[in-house]
Amino acid sequence: MKDLKLAGLKTERSTIEVNGVTIGGQEIILMGGPCAVESSLQMSQSAETVKKAGGKILRGGVFKPRTSPYSFQGLGLEGLNYLVQAAKEQNLLCVTEVVDAASLELVAGKVDILQIGARNMQNYELLKLAGKSKQPIILKRGLSATIEEWLLAAEYILASGNPQVILCERGIRTFEPSTRNTLDLSAVGVAKELSHLPVIVDPSHAAGRRDIIASLSKAAIAAGADGLLIETHPNPDEAVSDGPQSLTPEQFIELAGQLAVVAQSVKRVFRFGGQETLGDLRSQIDIVDQSIIELLADRMQIVRKIGDQKRLDRVKDTSRQNEITQRLMNLAAERQLPPDLVKRIYPLIFEYAVQSQIKSKLAQDQELEAALYPLGSK
């Protein structure tokens, strides 16, 4: 896609490090909290819920861009203090939405991540200001924005000097009235195909109803999302905004408890309760072990191709083996691994590589012979 000069796909995916939390790495990052900050108690209860679930980031809007001018517009600075304080109590990071230059200036440096909402995705002056900020930006997809428009909005922020953009799919407007919006999970795959930026999913604003948030969240992880942004409220029936889509604390924690297996099935990790249990650590090891075998299989395949280009008496190349071993021993030392490990493992890998080259070469020779002398007579 043209003009995605900075947001376009590079060889490596970007991860965003924010005060000890990595977004876009192997771990699925859960963010949760109410739509709007209402009170100090509501925020400390929400923070407790997010923490118990293993969430890392507390959300809460203090400047609310509401569809109706008569709806609650947010508590502003007072709310910001409740959000920051509650996050601090539970050792969580926090995110809030900015809507203009004044709100950006007010929250800058106080929260860990700034959010640009769906309604402001094409507010180019705001995007440029966010680009001047040093803080990570969650950029929601606009209500009716194409993926290209969304990525170009991200490009505005990147082009203005801020490389830390997290894309957030939050549902788009369609003809379907049974949900508030339609969660476009294909957008996760497409955005990750076109861009190196992390992509998270907000199922709450997509669904508009709490009964399908759990299944959409799991589907989002399966679709490749790097994180989830989910609304939860200590008492959704009394929420000043988005109550019907907010999970109760119990539902939020229950959902989080189901995410680890889904994450594992797509080679990702989610740490329920924030703690690394023995089971979590074992599943991380299983993922690494699987990658080791897959990489060894890839190596063997390349080795066979090389073998096909060599003469049978040149299959074993000791000086090349020594060179590889030495290089990997140095690398091992750099990564705090005993170099001796390389010295012991690699001779085996070389031995099987040579055997497989010989086998593949002999099979090739036999095939050639059969083609040349179909009747078996030389």
What are 140's strand-pairing partners? 168
**Binding at 184: pick from ligand PEP, Mn ion, none (beta carbon under 5-8 Å per type):** none
Size of the site for Mn ion (CB under 5 A): 2
Stretch that binds ligand PEP, among 20-28, 43-51, 86-94, 111-119 (CB under 6 A): 111-119
**Which residue, 61 or 136, is less far from ligand PEP as judged by CB?**
61
**Which residue, 119 or 343, is less far from ligand PEP as judged by CB?**
119
Question: Two tokens at 154?
Answer: 């991200």
Q: Is 170 in the site for ligand PEP (CB under 6 A)?
A: yes
Q: Is 118 in the site for ligand PEP (CB under 6 A)?
A: yes
**Which of 32, 33, 79, 117 touches ligand PEP by CB under 6 A?**
117
End-to-end CA distance of the chain: 59
Question: Two tokens at 314?
Answer: 């040149």
Q: How many residues does the chain have?
A: 378
**Binding at 180: pick from Mn ion, ligand PEP, none (beta carbon under 5-8 Å per type):** none
**Which residue, 35 or 86, is less far from Mn ion as judged by CB?**
35
Give the distance, in angstroms, between the CA of residue 371 and the centroid of all CA atoms in the same chain: 52
Nearest to 242 by CA among 201, 214, 207, 200: 207
264: how many CB neighbours lie within 10 A of its CB?
18
Q: Is 205 in the site for ligand PEP (CB under 6 A)?
A: yes
**Which residue, 151 or 230, is less far from Mn ion as judged by CB?**
230
How far is it, in rounded angstroms, from Cα 50 to Cα 233?
Answer: 10
> Please, which residues have CB within 8 angstroms of residue 88's CB and are 6 or more apart in sequence?
none
**Binding at 140: pick from ligand PEP, Mn ion, none (beta carbon under 5-8 Å per type):** ligand PEP
**Which residue, 34 or 131, is less far from Mn ion as judged by CB?**
34
How far is it, in rounded angstroms, from Cα 313 to Cα 185?
Answer: 54
Q: Binders of Mn ion among 25-44, rule CB under 5 A? A: 35
Nearest to 228 by CA among 10, 42, 59: 59
**Which of 27, 38, 184, 242 touches Mn ion by CB under 5 A?**
242
Q: What is the CA radius of gyration of the chain?
A: 26
Q: Is 233 in the site for ligand PEP (CB under 6 A)?
A: no
**Binding at 117: pick from Mn ion, ligand PEP, none (beta carbon under 5-8 Å per type):** ligand PEP
Size of the site for ligand PEP (CB under 6 A): 10
How far is it, in rounded angstroms, from Cα 140 to Cα 130?
Answer: 13
Least distance from C-beta 34 to ligand PEP, angstroms? 9
**Which residue, 120 or 264, is less far from ligand PEP as judged by CB?**
120
**Binding at 170: pick from Mn ion, ligand PEP, none (beta carbon under 5-8 Å per type):** ligand PEP
* 256 contacts 30 by C-beta, under 8 angstroms: yes
**Which residue, 7 or 86, is less far from Mn ion as judged by CB?**
86
**Which residue, 26 or 73, is less far from ligand PEP as judged by CB?**
73
How far is it, in rounded angstroms, from Cα 198 to Cα 213?
Answer: 21
Q: Binders of ligand PEP among 237-276, rule CB under 6 A? A: none
Q: Is 35 in the site for ligand PEP (CB under 6 A)?
A: yes
> Please, which residues have CB within 8 angstroms of residue 8's CB and are 6 or more apart in sequence?
1, 194, 195, 196
Place of tokens 């989610």: 270
Nearest to 146 by CA among 121, 115, 120: 121
Footprint of Mn ion (CB under 5 A): 35, 242
Footprint of ligand PEP (CB under 6 A): 35, 61, 97, 117-119, 140, 170, 202, 205
